[in-house]
Amino acid sequence: MAGTCVVGLQWGDEAKGKIVDLIGDEFDMVVRYNGGANAGHTVVVEGKTFKLSLLPTGVIRPSVTSVIGNGVVVYPPRFLEEVKTLLDGGVDISKRLVLSDHAHVIFPYHMEEERLAESGGEGKIGTTGRGIGPCYQDKVGRRFAIRVGELLRPDHLRERLRQVVPFKNRLMTAFADGAAGAKVFDATAIADEYLKYAERIRPYVTDTARLLHDSVKAGKRVLFEAAQGSLLDVDHGTYPFVTSSSSLPSGMWSGSGLPAKNVTRIIGVVKAYTTRVGRGPFPTELDDGMDGTGERIRKVGKEYGTVTGRPRRTGWFDAVAVRYTAALAGADEITLMLLDVLSGLPELKLCVGYDLDGERRTHFTSDAHDLERCKPVYETLPGWTEDITTCRTLADLPAAARRYVDRVSEMVGLPVSVVSVGPGREQTIRVR
């Protein structure tokens, strides 16, 4: 089987959703393998905007079966809300959406644990507040986690919550330094609430690993959709300012159960510049005030988080970082997104190296302490003034824009297969 994986090579929000939608019709199944409703993927099809957090972007394509794999953490109300929004919008997904019985469930106490952890000053990561980290902590810790399959067994669920909730209450009260400030939860109330969700979720729940194996045997084509970006990967990202899952393609195997040998094409998605939400080092950040280039990119690119509405931090394209993530991801090609946002800037900068304590380097370090001290070394390229949103071939682009695309490709060391010049499906240049 020739499977494909779409992965972000920066700090998320690279427009992975648009690429998944663009090539979605070439596949029978689209699989999410990591993260949860911390993701926010916006896709614009024929002027209609779809916003997805937990469901794979593939659901928009009527011929595709969407799979939420075992590596995903699921907040049931969010799952049901997204299902309802799609059904109300005329996208019938009832027979072609499946949810792994092995996926882990997010409970209200996970959100509270995160709120308490994030209310401290220095230890703050700037998370999305969706309970992602605490749920993965419980998964790896093994004692307090509850999986989707367990929601479907009422007596068992009640018993599990009777064990878990008092412990969580004690933990959070201690964490909040006394009773004040920490919410206290009631096991019976949570069980009543989640059992209602469970009945609505039941038709979607299955052993997705087996389904994927059977589908591959039957010759089905599978597309993997990574959430977050490679620099947020829990192992290889800018730790501790990362998310709690493997967003690199390495997460595919564990997060879906389908061996990586089934995937023969890895598409790395990058923005023509860089953004980051939340805290952590960002060498090429343009923190240059309300009249500066950073704010201009934010405004033109509408760089505000889909999930939290926070303004995204903006900066120049970092070829050092993308070379690093492209290698870790095993990317075969890159798609260069939001190029139109750079139109009108007199000159553009590409980060081609770092200065670390007076020493020039061309390789990335994911060590947050070192990366914080890296000063970017830039190459400057001319900008263009033309509106490029109607360009459909490379030849339509102004010479300076073509040169920028070529230089990004050279610096990263990979071919550019798509250039995106607007949010719409049609605002796309397919290079090969």
Residues classed as catalytic: 13, 41
Q: Based on the shown chain and the rule CB under 6 A, indicate whether residue 322 belongs to the binding site for ligand GDP.
A: no
CB 234 within 8 A of CB 54: no
Q: Does 283 bind Mg ion (CB under 5 A)?
A: no
Nearest to 73 by CA among 255, 248, 214: 255
Using CB under 6 A as the binding rule, whether residue 128 contacts ligand IMO is answered as yes
Q: Which of 3, 6, 12, 52 is close enough to bind ligand IMO by CB under 6 A? A: 12
Q: Diameter of the chain by CA atoms?
A: 67
- Site for Mg ion (CB under 5 A): how many residues? 2
**Scanning residues 37 to 56, which ones bind Mg ion (CB under 5 A)?**
40
Rounded Cα distance, 302 and 294, in Å: 12
Q: Check binding of 420 to ligand GDP (CB under 6 A).
A: yes
Instruction: Note if the bond before 134 is cis, omega within 30 degrees.
Output: no
CA geometry: angle at 289 spanning 284 and 290, to 5°?
125
Q: Taking CB under 6 A as the rule, does residue 117 contact ligand IMO?
A: no
Lookup: tokens for 372: 């914080």
- Please identify, among the stretches 140-148, 225-233, 355-363, 391-399, the one whose residues bind ligand IMO according to the rule CB under 6 A: 225-233
Does residue 65 interact with ligand IMO by CB under 6 A? no
Number of residues that bind ligand IMO (CB under 6 A): 23
Q: By CB under 5 A, is residue 35 in contact with Mg ion?
A: no
Our finding on whether 126 is near ligand IMO (CB under 6 A) is yes
What is the C-alpha to C-alpha distance for residues 31 and 98, in angstroms, rounded to an integer?
10
Residue 205 lies near ligand GDP (rule: CB under 6 A): no
Q: Which residues sit opposite 348 in a β-bridge?
A: 381
Q: Dig out the tokens for 421 from the structure.
A: 């010049």
Candidate list 151, 160, 422, 429; residue touching ligand GDP; CB under 6 A: 422
Closest distance of CB 244 from ligand IMO, Å: 6
Compare residues 67 and 272 and give the one whose CB is closer to ligand GDP: 272
Judged by CB under 6 A, the chain residues 336 through 355 that form the site for ligand GDP are 337-338, 340-341
Asked if 421 touches ligand GDP (CB under 6 A), the answer is: yes
234 binds ligand IMO (CB under 6 A): no
Site string for ligand GDP, 2-41 (x = CB under 6 A): ------x---xxxxxxx---------------------xx
Strand 41-45 with 48-52, pairing: antiparallel
Q: Identify which of residues 117 and 307 has a Cβ nearer to ligand GDP in the complex.
A: 307
| Residue 163 C-beta: closest distance to ligand IMO, Å | 25
Q: Which lies closer to ligand IMO via its Cβ, residue 194 or residue 282?
A: 282
Residue 243 CB, nearest distance to ligand IMO (Å)? 3
Q: Does 335 bind ligand IMO (CB under 6 A)?
A: no
Q: For ligand GDP, give the closer residue by CB, 244 or 420.
A: 420
CA pair distance 248, 167, nearest whole angstrom? 33
Is residue 428 near ligand IMO by the rule CB under 6 A? Answer: no
Residue 32 interface partner, choices ligand GDP, ligand IMO, Mg ion, none, CB cut-off 5-8 Å depending on type: none
Binding letters toward ligand IMO, positions 23-62, x by CB under 6 A: ---------------xxxx---------------------
Note whether 225 binds ligand GDP by CB under 6 A. Answer: no
Question: Considering the rule CB under 6 A, would residue 314 count as an interface residue with ligand GDP?
Answer: no
Does residue 340 touch Mg ion according to CB under 5 A? no
Tell me which residues touch ligand GDP (CB under 6 A).
8, 12-18, 40-42, 44, 301, 306, 337-338, 340-341, 420-423
- Kindly list the residues in this chain that would bind ligand IMO in the complex (CB under 6 A): 8, 11-13, 38-41, 125-128, 130, 132-133, 227-229, 232, 243-244, 277-278
